[in-house]
Structure 1
Amino acid sequence: MAPEQDTFPPEVAAAMLAELPAVAEQTVAAIVVEVPSYTEAFTGPMGRRIESAVQLALGGFLELASGGVDPSRPVGPALEEAFKLGRGEARTGRPMDALLAAYRVGARVAWRHMSETAVAAGMPAGALARFAELVFAYIDQLSAASASGHADQLDTSGRLRRRHLERLADLLLTGAPPYDLTSAAERADWTPPRTLTAVLVPEARVRGALGVLDGRTLQAGEDLPGAESGGERVVLLVPDAEGYARTQLVRALTGREAVIGPTRPWQQARTSYSRALRAVQLDLQPDGDLPVDTELRLADLVLRADGEALADLRAQVLGPLDGLGPGPREKLVETLRSWLLHHGRRERVAAELFVHPQTVRYRMGQLRELYGNRLEDPRSVLELTLALALATP
């Protein structure tokens, strides 16, 4: 602005400066009434500090108006204080709405009282319009500085908390001691749940999965034990997903190619992760779009835990059939498997294999000739059941 035209006369500036404490007090009082979320914040010592901040802002305006400084560049201390105020609001958890409302109220109250003082001190009525323009331009700049401080604090604290949460997840998955886990949870401002359930999802599905899961869900980093053998998957730790909540979890993850580990006490999340990772390594296939629920695939996990041992067991217990041709051998293996799984109920075996019960009797006669008393020995029956439980070799 042009100094000769827009600079306040010294007597006007002096009169307004003398009124600053009273204007600041009235401004705070109006904000307390009109912005309810500040009622408690403005009481006691906090209220006095805010009054001082208001005086600083108004003093900065008078300095600007008296010195002919461009109002688009408010003086440093006032601008810095506004920035700090925005950061403080973010730290208390309040959104910018309340602070911007306070600025609007403050601008109105300050304008009313300062304009009265200015006119009484000799400011021409025609200059009031320019005065109002300067006041509200200045308030806009302070509002922008506070909004910048608010956003900066949220960004800084958000990034820091995300790092703490990721660190907590990594400690859980590497089996850190309970004390370290509790300390990490406190640093991350994360209230431990009763249980955690590990979920592995493809990297491309993470954002969608997080959108339907508990907001307290942790996401682990990339450098985890065994992660390189789990493919391009991300580990999520879902709180309190037992009982009916697990059913909801399965439903929420349908179509997301997820693998769900067992539910464990929160400090034992590593065992849930190990189970889910093992299911991925064994390439357990889902049922349609449903996620792989390891609680429903325990037999698969047990029997495939040592693939080489299972292959050796099959070769050993099916040794008596080695002298048969491929066709007869396949039929007898198929019949033996069904007979074991149906506990010798001939009609059920026949129904499953789509053959006559007499055919089942004939085949079992052949098997008894080949195995002898081993089909009556509990140990042999157990080994045969394990060898044939998953699929017919």
Structure 2
Amino acid sequence: MPESFEATRRAAHLELDAPVAGALRDRLPVLAARTVSAITAEVPSYSGTLTGQMRAKIENAVQLALGTFLQLIECPQGAGPSTPLASALEAAYALGSGEARSGRSMDALLAAYRVGARVSWREMATTTVQGGLSAATVAEFAELMFAYIDELSAASVAGHSDELASVGRAQRRSLERLAGQLLAGEPEETLLRSADRAGWPPPQTLTVVLLPRANLRAALALLPGHTLEGADDLPEVGPGEDLAVLLVPDAHGDRRRQLARTLRGRRAAVGPARPWTEASASYRRVTRTLALGLRPPADGAPLDTEEHLAALVLSVDPEGLADLRARVLAPLATLPPATAERLTETLRSWLLHHGRRDDVAADLFVHPQTVRYRMAKLRELYGDRLHDPATTLDLTVALAFPPRTDVDERADA
């Protein structure tokens, strides 16, 4: 039971004689009207709202609340759900909920309670004094009345807080639903309806970020306020990785560098910026990059999927890439494995450095004469095909990256 209710219960032994109680009850309509007038004059938030039918409704509510107060004095009862106090508290709770739904804080309503308590007490005190009540009885009367107003105020605060919490939970659910729909690639009309329902202003682009869940809250604190957080279930990410997904609005162009600075040190992977209704493409890109075994660099910068497009393209058909690699390396198939590996490594560097022998030697940490010897061996094995543009293209694609089995081993490590 709230402490303020206890105060009312303790003070409820006060007894008013019938003439004084009747006089107070007769004054309720005037008292309610004066209370509402004082509220509209002293509380700016209500100055232009309590007019016409609304004013009549509020005056009636004030009269009923004060009537309940008099009833409590005349007929003290417990705290059961059917008591007059319980009904008054329910009404006050609903009043606080309504203020929250109207988008107002509790400041105005609490100010109205203070003004109402002052005006009501002034009017009631005049009547009780004129009725011949003793000073001690009037003091007890004041104690009871202000305890009653405190109870109504507390009930309204509870209603306001509960309504805000309920609205907050509903909005969070709506935002989570929208994030899931974006990641799943739902139709644009569905996304527009969900965004409107969630009160989320659609940006120009969205960029998907995956990062360890342990780093989520710290990152969210630095990202734009309308950043969406995806659901916990990330089926496209490998098992054993406790990752979270974020959809960051308008991080395209120069702002991508700012996003990278914000995410530095948080072991994040960043997908490309895409039109907001196509965020699922950014999600697919970043999950595929992680599936290749690629991870954020050791310097703390995030893993930027835009820097690994070639690896992503070549990973589309891993079996095709393996077949291409086997075909172009067929001339080396009869050599001892160690020799074949050295020549393959040399051929790859020679292709990537456009045949510049010194650059190839520096890349492989060998003497230029060693490069000359190995390339002579390769020309012997391949013949004129090393100068054929189609063969050169196949070799470049096949040798640009380690075979897929190597990538898979790195991803499992």
Fold conserved between structures, TM > 0.5: yes
Check whether the contact 1:31–1:105 (CA below 8 A) recurs between aligned residues: yes
More displaced 10-residue stretch of structure 1: 64-73 or 254-263: 64-73
Aligned residue for 1:212, secondary structure, equals: coil
Aligned residue for 2:221, secondary structure, equals: helix
Find the partner of 1:245 among 255, 258, 265: 255
CA offsets 1:180-229 (integer angstroms, 9 cap, x no match): 22122222222222122222233444333333332222233355663676
Q: CA deviation at 1:150?
A: 1.4
Q: CA deviation at 1:69?
A: 4.0
CA offsets 1:129-150 (integer angstroms, 9 cap, x no match): 2112111111111112112211
Check whether the contact 1:172–1:269 (CA below 8 A) recurs between aligned residues: yes
Find the partner of 1:119 among 108, 125, 129: 129
Q: Distance in 1 between matches of 2:142 and 2:197?
A: 48
CA offsets 1:228-250 (integer angstroms, 9 cap, x no match): 76843333222222123322322
Q: Distance in 2 between matches of 1:48 and 1:243?
A: 58
Amino acid in structure 1 at the alignment position of 2:146: F
The answer to whether structure 1 residue 7 and structure 2 residue 15 are counterparts is yes
Report 1:142-291 matches (<5 A).
142-222=152-232, 226=236, 231-288=241-298, 289-291=300-302
Q: CA deviation at 1:362?
A: 3.3
Aligned residue for 1:263, secondary structure, equals: strand
Find the partner of 1:96 among 85, 103, 106: 106
Amino acid in structure 2 at the alignment position of 1:261: G
Q: 1:257/1:37 Cα in 2 relative to 1: closer, same or farther (>3 Å)?
A: farther
Check whether the contact 1:198–1:276 (CA below 8 A) recurs between aligned residues: yes
More displaced 10-residue stretch of structure 1: 134-143 or 311-320: 311-320
Q: CA deviation at 1:87?
A: 0.6
Q: Distance in 1 between matches of 2:313 and 2:52?
A: 66
The answer to whether structure 1 residue 25 and structure 2 residue 7 are counterparts is no
Q: Distance in 2 between matches of 1:373 and 1:226?
A: 45
The answer to whether structure 1 residue 368 and structure 2 residue 379 are counterparts is yes
- Tell me the matched-pair count: 393
Check whether the contact 1:230–1:277 (CA below 8 A) recurs between aligned residues: no
Find the partner of 2:364 among 353, 359, 362: 353
Residue 64 of structure 1 corresponds to 72
CA offsets 1:248-281 (integer angstroms, 9 cap, x no match): 3223333333322221111111111111221232
Q: Distance in 1 between matches of 2:335 and 2:312?
A: 31
Check whether the contact 2:351–2:396 (CA below 8 A) recurs between aligned residues: yes
Q: Distance in 1 between matches of 2:51 and 2:16?
A: 34
CA offsets 1:283-313 (integer angstroms, 9 cap, x no match): 2121123332212221221222333332332
Amino acid in structure 2 at the alignment position of 1:291: P
Task: Give the unaligned 5+ runs of structure 2.
Answer: 1-8, 407-413
Check whether the contact 1:335–1:364 (CA below 8 A) recurs between aligned residues: yes
CA offsets 1:23-73 (integer angstroms, 9 cap, x no match): 333333433454434444445544443333222222221221232346997
Q: 1:83/1:359 Cα in 2 relative to 1: closer, same or farther (>3 Å)?
A: same
The answer to whether structure 1 residue 304 and structure 2 residue 312 are counterparts is no
Q: Distance in 2 between matches of 1:71 and 1:101?
A: 27
Q: 1:35/1:320 Cα in 2 relative to 1: closer, same or farther (>3 Å)?
A: farther
Aligned residue for 1:297, secondary structure, equals: helix
Residue 78 of structure 1 corresponds to 88
